[in-house]
C-alpha cells in the first residue's frame, strides 16, 4: 500500500498538534495548515489522499476550500469538524460530495475510524 498523504487544517495550534499526533501512526505523511488560505494553497500545490479541516478558520472556511477544489475537479475526500452541526452545513457538505462532518469534541478512535473509511481502507487494505 502506498503511503497516505493527509492535510490537516485548523487555526488552533493545540488541535493541529492533537490531530497530527493521533494520525501519525496511521497515515504516511501529514501536512499542516494554520488557516483557510494556507489550506487552499497547499491543496492547489500538492496531492492529498484526505483533508481534515475545521469548518471556521481565518481566510477561507473549510467548506469554501472544498468547493473551490471541486470546481477544479479535485475530488479529495474531506472530513470537516466543527463545534456546531446544523442543517445548512449538513446540506452544504452533501453538495460538496465525498465529505463528512464530525462534531467536536471528537474521540481519537472516531477520527481514525472515519479517516480510514474515507480513504477506503478496510482491514488494513486500501480499496
Whole-prediction pTM value? 0.93
**Residue 1 pLDDT > 70, yes or no?**
no
Residue 121 pLDDT exceeds 60 = yes
pLDDT in tens, 83-108: 999 999 999 999 999 999 999 888 99
Residue 46: predicted pLDDT = 97
All 3 cell numbers of residue 16?
493541529
A 10 A CB-CB count for 37 gives: 14
Q: Long-range contacts made by residues 36-40, C-beta under 8 angstroms, separation at least 24?
A: 36/9, 36/60, 36/61, 36/62, 36/64, 36/65, 38/9, 39/7, 39/9, 39/65, 40/65, 40/68
Which range marks the domain in which residue 46 is found?
5-126
Concatenated DSSP letters of 43-62: HHHS--SEEEEESS-SSS-H
Tell me the three state secondary structure of residue 30.
Answer: strand
18-76 per-position pLDDT tens digit: 999 999 988 999 999 999 999 999 999 999 999 999 999 999 999 999 999 999 999 99
β-sheet with 78-82: strand ranges across: 29-33, 5-9, 50-54, 78-82, 99-103
CA 112 vs. chain centroid, Å, equals 12
Q: How far is Cα 100 from Cα 112, in angstroms, rounded to an integer?
A: 14
Looking at the structure of the chain, the number of domains it has is: 1
Q: For position 103, which CATH number holds?
A: 3.40.50.2300
* pLDDT > 90? residue 126: no
Amino acid at each position: 500500500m502506498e503511503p497516505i498523504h493527509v492535510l490537516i487544517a485548523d487555526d488552533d495550534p493545540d488541535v493541529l498538534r492533537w490531530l497530527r499526533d493521533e494520525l501519525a501512526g496511521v497515515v504516511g505523511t501529514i501536512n499542516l495548515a494554520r488557516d483557510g488560505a494556507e489550506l487552499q494553497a497547499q491543496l492547489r500545490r500538492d496531492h492529498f489522499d484526505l483533508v481534515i479541516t475545521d469548518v471556521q478558520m481565518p481566510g477561507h472556511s473549510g467548506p469554501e476550500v472544498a468547493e473551490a477544489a471541486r470546481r477544479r475537479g479535485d475530488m479529495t475526500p474531506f472530513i470537516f469538524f466543527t463545534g456546531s452541526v446544523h442543517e445548512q452545513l449538513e446540506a452544504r457538505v452533501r453538495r460538496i460530495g465525498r465529505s463528512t462532518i464530525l462534531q467536536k469534541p471528537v474521540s481519537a478512535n472516531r477520527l481514525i475510524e472515519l479517516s480510514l473509511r474515507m480513504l477506503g481502507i478496510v482491514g488494513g487494505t486500501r480499496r
